[in-house]
Structure 1
């Protein structure tokens, strides 16, 4: 994917990347955010009526091979799985449509995002970095949250640790536009639902876990049998805001089943593959288009800048 030509957008992406470095340190060969992770392979099978939502190739074909990455939050490659800062967890899925042709879903375990724009997100990260243990109240981050209710709501949303990467629900951050063969379109946000159901740990239970418990558990789990998720989309109604990741749609909105994701084994050379792959939040496939959410182009630019730096390390 190419870097954006918008110089202001590119400058903001670089500023955000530098801010991640300030928060988490420079860790050559790793992501600036969600640095610790593990990749698996599997297959996606569309639901019988998936084509009634989109003409995208993987919605129509009998099945499509996938690779997937589970991850912890932060840019610290050795963050313990039982560290509260490791939430929200991440899940990125790549659908392999042809040789060097793919489309991705990038999601995390909280429904929403703290800010509407990249500039606001940069201000949020700067406030976090400027807040020290001895900072007088209101601290920089308290002052930011006091004037940004969406960020406050995101921070206050419970983020309990899962017992397994396979027992957590993951949410697409931004909306996408699904288009059928006939040209009809609906906006929606992905949700990835674990077949095993959600299962979260108490703070005491998490504290007793090993620092690598999630990564070890998912390897053991997939060795014992396939790990399954259902991919669905929460569809927007006419008039719903589709270009602001901080706005939740009402829970009465239609949940459309897209298909089943079945994970069968870890990626062979896991660290090398994680270093190489650059996930893309923009669909870039016929039948699925991005919304006009300002976070999309910015996130794509950050992922690409971080990925190129990671590959060259």
Structure 2
């Protein structure tokens, strides 16, 4: 996983990391965002329909080992599961294709993203950081949201508490280009749907700080946790390089496969410190779109991963 060749992308990634640390404080060994999490292992089995979409390795095999990480939002490792800032939740899935060969999906439980690119996102974070309770209105964040309707829409989108991390739906932020064995190409976004169905509760019903992670550990001991992965297909004319733009719900959903999670990694914290998920697929048959967030997110993940690995235990 290399850094982008564009020095501007790397500089912006470093500026964003510094801003995350300013907002949430430094927490050596943890991610600057989605710091609190839990890792599980299991398998992926492709759906028959996925071959019409892509020639990727994990679609051609009967099954592929996976590693998955669920997470809370923010860069605070001790974030109580009952806090609204714990939403949206994250789910990253690594498809382990061979030794040191993998492709990943990175998703979260709100469909979309607040800004078109990293420069707007940095402006968004700085405005939020400058808008404490003592700051009179109009606060910087109010001014930003007033001039950025996509960010306002994202902030106002309901972010409910799932009763279980196994009962939430997760969305890929960016679109990818899928190419099948015949060379046919379509653009799509991942959607990861729980087999058990969606179920939500109020924050007041969460009485333990680690409710979601304790519940998930208990659940997976009783029976496997399964998710169906779908790809929402862009229609001709749909925008594929802007994560703030949603596609209509009537767009085709192609079943990609099923993830079955069977156990929590016994050394979950150590593994979380070490693993660096990659938002760019880097596998034949699935390529990045022109969305500017992709190279930036990959740079942030790599830089923060190196920082995390270098932290003293």
Class of the TM-score when normalised by the shorter of the 2 chains: over 0.9
For 1:60, the equivalent position in structure 2 comes to 60
For 2:5, the equivalent position in structure 1 comes to 5
- Deviations 1:179-235 (CA, angstroms, capped at 9, x unpaired): 0011101100000000011111124323xx200000100000000000000000100
- Deviations 1:34-77 (CA, angstroms, capped at 9, x unpaired): 00000000000001221111000001100000000000000001
Deviation at 1:93, TM superposition (A): 0.1
- 3-state secondary structure, aligned to 1:248: coil
Q: TM-score, normalised by structure 1?
A: 0.99
d(CA) in 2 for partners of 1:310, 1:2: 17
For 1:256, the equivalent position in structure 2 comes to 254
- 3-state secondary structure, aligned to 1:242: coil
The number of residues matched between the two structures is: 311
Which 4+ residue blocks in structure 1 deviate beyond 2 angstroms? Answer: none
For 2:245, the equivalent position in structure 1 comes to 247
d(CA) in 1 for partners of 2:16, 2:244: 19
Residues 29 and 309 in structure 2, CA contact (< 8 A), matched pair in contact too:
yes
d(CA) in 2 for partners of 1:95, 1:181: 20
Deviation at 1:4, TM superposition (A): 1.3
d(CA) in 2 for partners of 1:252, 1:130: 40
- 3-state secondary structure, aligned to 1:12: helix
Structure 1 vs Structure 2 CA RMSD: 0.6
- 3-state secondary structure, aligned to 2:29: coil
Deviation at 1:267, TM superposition (A): 1.1
For 2:163, the equivalent position in structure 1 comes to 163
Deviation at 1:3, TM superposition (A): 1.0
- Deviations 1:99-128 (CA, angstroms, capped at 9, x unpaired): 100000000000000000100000000000
- 3-state secondary structure, aligned to 1:104: strand
Deviation at 1:149, TM superposition (A): 0.2
Residues 230 and 261 in structure 1, CA contact (< 8 A), matched pair in contact too:
yes
d(CA) in 2 for partners of 1:17, 1:182: 41
Within the candidate set 221, 224, 227, 1:223 is matched to: 221
Unmatched 5+ stretches in structure 2: none
Matched, 1:312 2:305: no
- 3-state secondary structure, aligned to 2:297: helix
d(CA) in 2 for partners of 1:48, 1:12: 41
Matched, 1:113 2:152: no
For 1:175, the equivalent position in structure 2 comes to 175
Q: TM-score, normalised by structure 2?
A: 0.99
Deviation at 1:2, TM superposition (A): 0.8
d(CA) in 1 for partners of 2:256, 2:203: 34
- Equivalences for 1:84-123 in 2 at 5 Å? 84-123=84-123
Unmatched 5+ stretches in structure 1: none
For 1:141, the equivalent position in structure 2 comes to 141
Residues 226 and 260 in structure 2, CA contact (< 8 A), matched pair in contact too:
yes
d(CA) in 2 for partners of 1:157, 1:237: 24
Within the candidate set 285, 290, 299, 1:292 is matched to: 290
